[in-house]
Structure formats: C-alpha cells, structure tokens
Amino acid sequence: MSIQLQMLGTGSAFARRYFNNNALIYDKEFTLLIDCGVTAPIALHQLNVSFDDIDAVLITHIHADHVGGLEELAFTMKFKHKRKMILYIADTLIDILWEHTLKGGLYQKGEIMTLEDIFIIIPLSPGQAQFISDQIHVEILPTEHIPGKMSYSLYLNEHIFYSADMKFNPSLLAYLVHERSCDVILHDCQLTGSGEVHSTLQELLTLPEDIQRIIYLMHYGDNKDEFIDATGSMTFLEQQRIYEYE
C-alpha cells in the first residue's frame, strides 16, 4: 500500500513559528486529515487545500491543537459545501468531543443538536484495525499523555507509528519495531524540560541506535533550530514536505 504524508504543522501547542501538529495522508483517491487544530484552517489555506478536498478527519485526543479547528470545519462543510465529513474517532472520545468541546460553539436548536448532525461518525476501537481507504489502514493504540484523559496514537499500514502527544514509552516502540515490523516512527518531541506529558529529546536519545534511525521528530518548539545537530540518529520532520511510504 502506497501513501503520502504531509504535515500541516509540526509545532507544539505553544509554538509560534510552526503550525499545530496535524497531518494530511493521501492515497490516489482519498485524503485523510489527522487532527484539526486551531491552526489547521490557515495551514490548509497555505497549501491551497480546502475542507471540501478532504474526505475524512481522524482525531487522536481532545486538546485545542488537535481539535480546535473542528468548529470551522463543521460549519464550512454544513453551510458552504452541504455535506457531512466522515469523522474517525475512538469510541471513548465521541461524547467528550461533543459535550466538552464542540457543543458550546456549534449547537443550534433544530439545526445542530448532536455530533451526528455535522459528521458521519465512524467509531474506532483499540486493537481493531480499520481500512480508511483502499490504501490507508489505521489501528489506534492507547498511549499515556495527560493523567485521566484518553489519548490514542496511530499505527498506519502495519509499519508506520504516528504518536499522538505521549509520555516516553520505550517498551511500546521496541514492541512495534521488533514484533510488528514498524520501520517508521513519527514521534512527538519536547526539546527541553521534564517529560511530564510528552516524550523529551533526552529520553528519546536513550533509545537504541536501530530505533533512533527510524524516528522522525515532530510537535517541537520554536527553538528547534538550536537542536539540528543534537538529535542523535533521529531526524526532524518538516512541515509541508511530502513524504512517501510504501
């Protein structure tokens, strides 16, 4: 299966030089948006991509840099393009997304009263892989981020790990590489400070060389350029660049 990945942004929630860490995945016939943060609309505009060019959106967890653009997406699709977009989301996050994030802005009596009024919802469950399209295959993996809040990373096409925001979990990475044929890791990275809710660069540098070589760092801060030669065998993922994977 052949796909392309293009990061709309590669920045942390507080970065100003880089957009929110959201991505587009393409096959020849289908476009999937991974997360839709506050900066997603302007990032798409810079690429000359409209919401109507996107077939579905997948949400990993409920933070503004991952869901803050959904209100604009929903209104645009409903009132301008007159269609519902497909929403892939963990079954445990469906009610939370509506009741705690979107309802306050989207609710209109008699028009938009439920999440189903604006999206075609396809629930995802951990351990149950889902074909998004002929070429895009996704499994959600529960990963720890904020205590008490559910967050899910992605395993794409049985060989690409795409982390949501997550604490350092070397055993998971080793399992994916050595037992599940993972050969690409797209990993969030906090460049400085302690890793209370994110994996830090210092933690990732403790990984074995064979794992570091396949890691591409994302969700980084504005000081990224200070660390160009300090990432071991790991590489920074670049926003807007198109990466191709078989």
One-letter amino acid at 96 equals I
Looking at residue 208, what is its pLDDT? 98
Looking at residue 165, what is its pLDDT? 95
Residue that is written with structure tokens 């599940």 in the block: 180
CATH of 3-126+136-245 given 2.40.50.1070, 3.40.50.2300, 3.60.15.10, 3.40.640.10: 3.60.15.10
For residues 32 and 229, give the distance between their C-alpha atoms in angstroms, rounded to a whole number: 33
For residues 33 and 31, give the distance between their C-alpha atoms in angstroms, rounded to a whole number: 7
Domain chopping of the chain, boundaries: 3-126+136-245
pLDDT band for position 148 (cuts 50, 70, 90): very high
Distance of CA 107 to the CA centre of its chain: 25
Mean pLDDT, range 33-58, rounded to an integer: 98
pLDDT band for position 184 (cuts 50, 70, 90): very high
Report the predicted TM-score, pTM, of the whole model to 2 decimal places: 0.97
Examine the pLDDT at 27 and tell me if it is beyond 80.
Answer: yes
Q: Which of 124, 113, 123 is nearest to 74 (CA)?
A: 113
DSSP state of 198: S
